[in-house]
Structures are given as C-alpha cells and as structure tokens.
Amino acid sequence: MPLTKDAMRDALASVPGTDGASIVSSGALLWTTVCDTYASIKIEAGAGASKQDLEALSQRSRAAIEHLAQQNNTRLDSFIVEYVDHAGKVVHTSRFGAMTSVPAGTTPPQAASPKPGPGGAPAGHTPIGGLKQPTPQQNAGALPNVRHVIAVGAGKGGVGKSTVALNIAVGLARRGHSVGLLDGDIYGPSMPTMLNLAGLDAVVHQGMLQPFFTHGIKAMTIGKLVDTDKPLIWRGPMAHGAFKQLTEQTEWGELDYLIIDLPPGTGDVSLTMAQMLQLTGAVVVCTPQKVAQDDAVRAAKMFQQLGITVLGVVENMSGFIADDGKHYDIFGRGGAEQMAQRLNVPFLGALPITMSLRANSDSGNPTANFAGTDAPGTRLRDALEAMLTNLEGQVALASMSSGKQRPTLSIS
C-alpha cells in the first residue's frame, strides 16, 4: 500500500532530534509529503546544530521511513530532508536515493535489480488490482488560512492566461472576497506591469515576504524579486524552489481565494504546485483557435491526472469589439466552448478583446475593466461578471463534492 503523510509522521515519532527529544513531540517536524515513490520532510533545525548533527538526524529519519516503506511493501526511490531556521529559511538539505548527487569522477552505486515475480512484476512489489495510483493532490497540504486555491493555466503561451487570472482576482475582490494573486509564471512574470508595481519594492518582515496590496488584492510575483531585465534561465529545481518560496514565505493572511497564475504548458511548476497545495480546482484558458485548443486539452488532462478538479474553461480573445461596438471574429468563436463539451468540463464564459482591455493591462489598471460605459467596455464588463458568477458556482460545487462545504437551506 502507498505511503501516507500521517503514516510517515507516526514513523518519525520515535526519531530523536538534535536535542534528544522526538522531532514530532517537540514540534521540530514541520511537514511531511509523499508522491508515489518520492517522499520528503521539513524539520526546523535546532539552535547551534552542526551540519554533522543534521546529517545524523537525516540518517535516522531515512531509516525510519525506509522501515515504514518495507512494512508497507512499497518502493522508496527518493527521500529528501529539508532543514529551515526559525524564520523559515532553508539552511541544509539531505537527499537520498535517485536524487542524491554524486561527486564528479565517481560512479553512482547501482542498486540490485529486483528479480521479477509472477507476471513480470518486481519481487516485493505487489500491485493492488483495480485501485488507482495516488495523485499528488492526495498528499498535498492545505495553505493555512486560505479557503480556496485556484490555479489558472493554459497549454500554450499568448492566450491571455495572466489577463484572465488577474481579472478573476480583481473581480472576486470587488464582490467582497479577500483575494490573493500569486504570479507563479516563474519564467515570464507579467504582474509587475499589469498591476503597475514598478515604483514599489519587495518588503521582508520577520523572514516573510509582504504581499503588495493593490486594486483590492494581495499580490506577490517573482518579477519584484529579480532584476527587471534579467532573464530567468532556470532548470526545474530552481523553478521549484522559487515557486515554493513565493507560496510558503509570503504572509498572505486570511484569504477567501488565492489565484495562482501558472506558467504555460505542463512543466515543473504545475507538478510542484500539485504536490504542495491542496487546490479547489483549476481554470484552463484557451482561444477559439484549433491550435490553442489542442494545447488546452493537454493542460486540462494534466490537471486531471494530478488529481485537480477542472472548474472550467475560459475562451479568451473571443472576438474583437471595436470602438463602434462592431464584433470581429479574429480568431473565430466558440471553439473553446466546443472543446469544453468534448472534455465534459464546465464552460465559464467568453471574454472579448477591446482597446481598453489592452490599455488597462499595459497601464496596470485592471479595475477599469469593470467600469466600462461605452459599447466595448460594457460588453467586456458583462462578460467578466458572467465568468465570475459561473466560477463561483463551480467553486461551491467542488467544495461540496470534496466535503469542505455543505449546502444550506434558508427558510423565510
């Protein structure tokens, strides 16, 4: 049977920390996480603990988890122990298994290949017929004081994913919700421009990043933590670490919604998010074009494979509304809605392109998208409000199906 976070915590209860007390009872063990055959834990390093002390503790923790895996007849390919100080800063990391680094010039030890058992399966590994493999979401943790986490993704770039994420966040805030927006597009952060954050500096207080409060939302972006013109040429582990820091070391406070603007595609950041955070669901953004639909299908299936509910599809750039109110189907119309029907997922709405939408995005004034009075502005405002209403409905349904929310009946 697969490992679970609770089983790992129980197994680590007998492991003494650097001060001799159990890392569980002393509160040093901050969290555990597991996905398939990969497990990791986070421990608060004791004051004055040396690197040798931490490595010894890592070995004790590894032995406990390996023993648990053997008891559960489960393979453990990788185990990571991460140590943080009181402020949450990573001070040391121990890696075991497939992810352990090997000094240059040496050959990594080769594990003995397990002898095949009946039916070709490795001996000691018994698949349970009829049961689905656990998804990353099953072992993900909840973000403290955040009711709903919603990811906004797309199969390809250039479809307006960030624009949709931003307007969802601002629109929900205008409806009275407490909303945070995490610019998780590590490689191409656009929120510094779209929220007009150029004149603001990131602030750290007691080891925690303080989000920017603007247009009624709390926002954090990697774009305010690196040089504006510096290209982020990062491999997967660096993107993982950056997303993890933005999520866990930002002082979000209490939120009704945290909207996460993901990088386009189906890469490392999406997997990291699924392993770290328990999501209410995801929104897939697509244009009417067939080429965009093909990539959007992959994004939707990625979320489903990770165990994340697809709350719906938004068709962005669904025609251009000129200043005279005339509609032009530049990229076609209705393609994303047809795709949503094929995938059997909700269609949240279609958003047009307008001159004011482009201008408001470039000037960092998304609130103006909800205040249009001319023909194109009114069409955009109505489309945004309809999308938000549909999204709130799908969030309520997803919460009830997961048991986080129960239906209420009012009698008057």
410 in any annotated domain: no
Tell me which residue range forms the domain holding 24: 5-101
Which pLDDT does position 394 carry in this prediction? 94
CA-atom Rg of the chain in angstroms: 24
The residue among 101, 128, 158 that closes a domain is 101
DSSP H/E element including 353 = strand 347-354
Tell me, what CATH number does 78's domain have?
3.30.70.1350
Phi/psi for 316 (5° steps) reads -95, 160
Tell me, what CATH number does 300's domain have?
3.40.50.300
How is residue 320 written in tokens?
């251009």
CA 360 to chain centre: 27
| CA nearest neighbour of 291 among 318, 331, 258, 253 | 331
126 in any annotated domain: no
Which pLDDT does position 160 carry in this prediction? 92
118 in any annotated domain: no
Does one domain contain both 192 and 70?
no
**What is the per-residue pLDDT across 58-99, written as a single tens digit (0 to 9) for each?**
999 999 999 998 888 888 878 888 888 876 777 888 888 743
DSSP H/E element including 39 = strand 38-44
How is residue 170 written in tokens?
């601002």
131 in any annotated domain: no
Does one domain contain both 144 and 275?
yes
377 in any annotated domain: yes
The ranges of the chain with pLDDT < 70 are 1, 35-36, 87, 98-134, 227-240, 266-267, 402-412
231 in any annotated domain: yes
Strand, helix or coil for residue 318: strand
Q: Give pTM, 2 decimals.
A: 0.66
111 in any annotated domain: no
Phi/psi for 51 (5° steps) reads -60, -35
**What is the per-residue pLDDT across 152-161, written as a single tens digit (0 to 9) for each?**
999 888 899 9
How is residue 20 written in tokens?
């001799």
How is residue 150 written in tokens?
């919603």
DSSP H/E element including 285 = strand 281-286
The residue among 73, 101, 129 that closes a domain is 101
Does one domain contain both 163 and 17?
no
108 in any annotated domain: no
Does one domain contain both 395 and 297?
yes
Does one domain contain both 168 and 23?
no
Does one domain contain both 191 and 46?
no
Does one domain contain both 176 and 65?
no
Does one domain contain both 96 and 152?
no
The residue among 101, 123, 156 that closes a domain is 101
Does one domain contain both 31 and 167?
no
Task: Say if CB 234 and CB 242 are below 8 A apart.
Answer: yes
Does one domain contain both 164 and 85?
no
Does one domain contain both 206 and 328?
yes
DSSP H/E element including 247 = helix 236-248
Cβ neighbour number for residue 74 with a 10 Å cutoff: 19
Number of domains observed in the structure of the chain = 2
Which pLDDT does position 401 carry in this prediction? 76
Which pLDDT does position 240 carry in this prediction? 65
Does one domain contain both 67 and 164?
no
